[in-house]
A and B are shown apart, each in its own frame.
Chain A
Amino acid sequence: MRAAALGREQELLAAYQSVIAARPALAPHLSLLAADKAVHVAALGTPGTATSTARTLGQLRLLEQSAAAAHGAAAQRASRNLAPLLASLAAASASAAAVL
């Protein structure tokens, strides 16, 4: 579950970087949200490589909503040790989706 969560956060981070590259004017807004993803990736383990074809805020919002659902579902099945971290990740993605 932790590895899957890391994969989702890496994908999100790559998506933010992809959208920022495509639309630099959005960088001030998106960089703060992307910083949260970088914190998550660093906390979850050794980062691998991820790429993204995301180009729009709508695509980012959908990815965040999907991650919120996946993290939340995992939090409901996880051990007591891991569940709080996954629940917090779900809340972080739901929060980001709310402002994209």
Chain B
Amino acid sequence: MSESSVLGELLAAEHAAIFGYGVIGAHLDERRRTMALSAFDDHRVLRDRLVQRMTARGIATPGASLSYEVPVTTPGSAVQQAISLETGVAVLWHDLVASTDNADLRALAVHALSDAAVRATRWRQAGRLTPLTTPWPGQA
């Protein structure tokens, strides 16, 4: 997969994660809502960093869709959706590591993959789900 196509997929996934965390947070108690708000902020920062780098490369940066399907109806499904979002973006950040030799993009991808894996782990912990970790974060 080319660097530019992975960047495009990542931007779409970060848009979806930002929207998703708005829905997820609305279904959680205060402590876990704080986790969702923190993750929401993290994904906004990542979106902005992606837009900056894509713009510098002349790659189109589509905006977010008006709406996304977020299958959340209960606190439990909200936690599952958060894990799913983080697992999904981790795969794409992992793909970017494999798709670029650019030092700046590689560094961004390595850090973003770790951050996504840590958030997924903390969501599993918040949902009392085991195992808390996976041996190969980011691998599909």
Q: Which residues of A contact B (CB under 8 A)?
A: 32-33, 35-36, 39-40, 68, 72, 75-76, 80, 83-84, 87-88, 90-92, 94-96, 98-99
Contact A98 B106 (CB under 8 A): no
Contacts of A90 in B (CB 8 A): 110, 113-114
CB distance from B59 to the nearest CB of A (A): 20
Main secondary structure of the interface of B (DSSP, over half): helix
If A87-B110, A88-B136, A88-B139 touch, whether A76 touches B101 (CB-CB below 8 Å) is no
Complex alpha-carbon distance, A88 and B116, angstroms: 11
For A84, give its contact among B94, B131, B134 (CB under 8 Å).
Answer: B94
Q: How far is the CA of A88 from the CA of B114 in the complex (A)?
A: 8
Closest B residue by C-beta to A89: B136
Main secondary structure of the interface of A (DSSP, over half): helix
The answer to whether A99 and B135 have CB atoms under 8 Å apart is: no
Q: B99: which A residues are within 8 A, CB to CB?
A: 80
**Which residues on A sit within 8 Å (CB–CB) of B138?**
84, 87-88, 91
Contact B125 A91 (CB under 8 A): no
When the two chains form their complex, are residues B117 and A94 in contact, meaning their CB atoms are under 8 A apart?
yes
B: number of interface residues (CB 8 Å): 33
Give the A-B pair count, Cβ closer than 8 A. Answer: 90
Name which residue of chain A comes closest to B139, CB basis.
A88
Asked if A32 and B90 make an inter-chain contact with CB atoms under 8 angstroms apart, the answer reads no
Query: Are the CB atoms of B113 and A88 closer together than 8 Å?
Result: yes
Asked if residues B118 and A94 are in contact (CB atoms below 8 Å), the reply is yes
* A33→B113 contact, CB < 8 A: no
B interface residues with partner A (beta carbon < 8 Å): 90, 94, 97-101, 103, 106-107, 109-111, 113-118, 120-122, 125, 130-139
Contact A87 B113 (CB under 8 A): yes
A1 → B minimal CB distance (Å) = 14
A-B contact pairs, 14 of them (CB 8 A): A32-B130, A32-B133, A36-B134, A80-B98, A83-B97, A83-B98, A84-B139, A87-B114, A88-B113, A92-B117, A92-B133, A92-B137, A95-B133, A99-B133
Complex Cα spacing A83 to B110, Å: 9
CB distance from A97 to the nearest CB of B (A): 8
Q: A90-B110, A91-B114 are in contact. Are A98 and B121 (CB under 8 A)?
A: yes
